[in-house]
Amino acid sequence: MSRAYLDHASTSPLRPQALEAMLPWLGGVVADPGRVHTEGLMARAALEEARQQVAALLGARPREVVLTSGATESINAATYGATASRGRRIVAPAVEHSAVLEASARWGDLVRVRVDDSGRVDADELLDVVDAAPTALVHLQWANHEVGTRQPVAAVVDGCRERGVLVHVDAAQAAGHLPIAFDALGADLLSVSAHKLGGPKGAGALLVRRGLRLPPLLLGGDQERARRAGMENLPAQVGFGAAAEALVGSLDDEAAAAAGACGHLLEAALAVPGVSLYGDPDQSGRLPHLVCLGVELVEAEAVLLALDQAGVAAHSGSACSSESLEPSPVLLAMGIEAERSLRLSVGWSTSPDDVDAFARAFPGVVARLRSLRG
């Protein structure tokens, strides 16, 4: 039985371009990019090409790109650097990713800001919280990782710059799906992961605004211009660069295809009684590749397992940190049903057959599970 993979928001399959770029660096001599011998210079050239490719996708200067192991490390580095140099108070919406909330609670004093029932924070309300006391850092995700709601990033960034407060944008879910222009936005810090957009796992980046110097999280070497110590994962970063380059010319087309696929998924789901959409009801206010559903009268775990048995891989609002199907903190913050969510997400490899597989399976799965309730 062929399977339908509808969990790209968790991780997306490796793009062929990324695999092809990585293969030469997975065998033979892969030298330290910090060495001046021929092998080292070849590695350095490959690493810098990857940096340029990532910068081109994200609208940044190559020197602003710090290559990391992924968004989780980038978030921790941004949070540590800001609190170590600017103070402990951190402001963030209550629906931020667990990496943001937990890093903020560890490195600083976190103040959470409420969101509305679509998961969106009010920019003026957030800035009022910033004004209430000296603030070192504001976190704001470009778009929510669970319900897809886009946040007022530009307004918050502008307000923080006026106040001289650092702002970090978590773009892990948006990169590769929405246009991002880091320099034009004016944010201080921005984090991304390669595997969310068809690159390899274990690669990502922290973008650091030109002229901003923060203490590094990782110590022990001068790699990444002394901003992130440790040997660079050259094969993974080369793959990241290739995935980014593939998206530079295809992002709009992929986003349109994703929005179309999610539209069909949503239509099939909403045809089942007792199913509703979570997040912004307007497609323009959500990520193009993700929909989150509320399913009345059945538990999320049961729906996921039944869909899996039918050959469809999806996700629910469980906590990333625990890998358990706990009530979603995002949905709790939105004030809606937190234990019956289903997240469907598409990507570069999604086919009409994947969408059709869900449309065929979902009504029967829900009907069967509800019938077991008696």
Q: What is the pLDDT of residues 27-63, one digit of tens each?
A: 887 889 999 999 999 999 999 999 999 999 999 999 9
Residue 216 pLDDT > 60, yes or no?
A: yes
Give the C-alpha separation, 208 to 117, whole Å: 32
Beta-strand (E) ranges in the chain?
4-5, 65-68, 89-93, 109-113, 137-141, 166-170, 189-193, 204-208, 275-278, 290-295, 312-313, 341-345
Q: What percent of the chain has pLDDT over 90?
A: 92
How high is the pLDDT of residue 319? 39
Give the C-alpha separation, 87 to 163, whole Å: 15
Give the C-alpha separation, 320 to 92, whole Å: 18
pLDDT in tens, 5-17: 999 999 999 999 9
At the topology level, CATH places domain 16-248 in Aspartate Aminotransferase; domain 2 (3.40.640)
- What is the average per-residue pLDDT within 232-255? 97
| Amino acid at the residue 91 | V
How high is the pLDDT of residue 373? 83
Residue 111 pLDDT > 80, yes or no?
A: yes
How high is the pLDDT of residue 231? 94
Residue 354 pLDDT > 50, yes or no?
A: yes
Longest dimension (CA), the chain: 73
Q: Do domains 4-12+251-371 and 16-248 have the same CATH topology?
A: no
SS3 81: helix
Pairing label, strands 65-68, 89-93: unpaired
Give the C-alpha separation, 159 to 130, whole Å: 10
- What is the average per-residue pLDDT within 322-345? 82
Q: What is the mean pLDDT of the chain?
A: 95
Beta-strand (E) ranges in 279-353?
290-295, 312-313, 341-345
Residue 190 pLDDT > 60, yes or no?
A: yes
Q: Of 233, 291, 240, give the one whose Cα is nearest residue 267.
A: 291
pLDDT in tens, 275-303: 999 999 999 999 999 999 999 999 888 99
Q: Which helix (H) or strand (E) holds 31?
A: none
Residues serving a catalytic function are: 320
Q: Which DSSP category does 37 fall into?
A: S
- What is the average per-residue pLDDT within 137-161? 98
- Burial of residue 264 (CB within 10 Å: 0-12, 13-18, 19+) is middle
Q: Of 122, 121, 120, 83, give the one whose Cα is nearest residue 104.
A: 83
SS3 170: strand
4-12+251-371: CATH number: 3.90.1150.10
Yes or no: say if 285 and 256 are a contact pair by the CB < 8 Å rule. Answer: no
How high is the pLDDT of residue 327? 78
pLDDT in tens, 135-146: 999 999 999 999
Q: Where along the chain do its domains lie? A: 4-12+251-371, 16-248
- What is the average per-residue pLDDT within 255-260? 98
What pLDDT band is residue 374 in, cutting at 50, 70 and 90? low
Residue 340 pLDDT > 90, yes or no?
A: no
pLDDT in tens, 304-328: 999 999 999 999 864 343 455 567 8
- What is the average per-residue pLDDT within 66-94? 98
